[in-house]
Amino acid sequence: MQFVVTHLTRMREGICTAGPEPRSGANIRPVARYGNLPGALLWQRGGPLKVGALVDIGTAIPRPTPPHSEDVEADPAKWHAAGQVSEERFLKHLLDRAAPSPHAAFGQFMREVEPGKHAITAGEGDRSLTYVLLDRGLELTVTNQGRLSLQFVAETKRFRLPVTDARLYKDDMATPHPTAVGRLQKLIWRGKGVVAGMGIGRAWGRPGEKPMHWLQANNLYPVEAPYWDARPATRAYGPPTQAQVALTTL
**Residue type at 218?**
N
- In this predicted structure, what is the pLDDT of residue 86? 95
Task: Please say whether the beta carbons of 14 and 38 come within 8 A.
Answer: yes
By CB neighbour count within 10 A (0-12 exposed, 13-18 middle, 19+ buried), where does 114 fall?
exposed
Q: Is 190 helix (H, G, I), strand (E, B) or coil?
A: coil
- In this predicted structure, what is the pLDDT of residue 225? 96
- In this predicted structure, what is the pLDDT of residue 232? 47
User: Domains of the chain: which residue ranges?
Assistant: 2-245
Instruction: Report the distance separating Cα 63 and Cα 231, nearest Å.
Output: 34
Task: Please say whether the beta carbons of 133 and 95 come within 8 A.
Answer: yes
Which residues of the chain carry a pLDDT beneath 50? 230-246, 248
How many CB atoms are located within 10 Å of the residue 4 CB?
A: 28
